[in-house]
Structure 1
Amino acid sequence: MKYAVIIEKGNNSYGAYVPDLPGCVAVGETAAEVKTLIQEAIEFH
């Protein structure tokens, strides 16, 4: 399945969440890192 992922840039990091999967979140130091982490989070959800 495909899910919409929201990525937000903070002062020192990036955060990502999936609106359709409650509690599915990730935080990383770079955009590339947070993209990888949110993909893993979706798989585990």
Structure 2
Amino acid sequence: MNHTRPEFYVVIERDEDGFYVGEVPQLRACYSQGRTIDELMTNIRDVIEMCLDVDPEYSPIEFIGVQRVMA
């Protein structure tokens, strides 16, 4: 049996305190932080699992990409 694991994109920013903050735009209210990228990615995996456990029937939206806009 071939079970494909869902793939998610993480948008990462650094806050004013130097923490890395990640958000998964494909899932509602799915975000976390960490002192390092590795810590953030460990934390965000846990949050993704929690989001999917809370709403197992939820179908993630399609992530298209990020664009830069000059203001």
Q: What's the secondary structure of 1:3's corresponding residue?
A: coil
Partner of 1:30: 36
More RCO (CA 8 Å, sep 6+): 1
Where in structure 1 are there 5+ consecutive unaligned residues? none
User: How many residue pairs get matched?
Assistant: 45
Identity %: 33
Partner of 2:64: none
Structure 1 residue runs of 4 or more that deviate by more than 3 Å after TM superposition: none
Where in structure 2 are there 5+ consecutive unaligned residues? 1-5, 52-71
**The structure with more radius of gyration:** 2
Partner of 1:39: 45
More helix by share: 1
More strand by share: 1
TM-score where L is the length of structure 1? 0.86
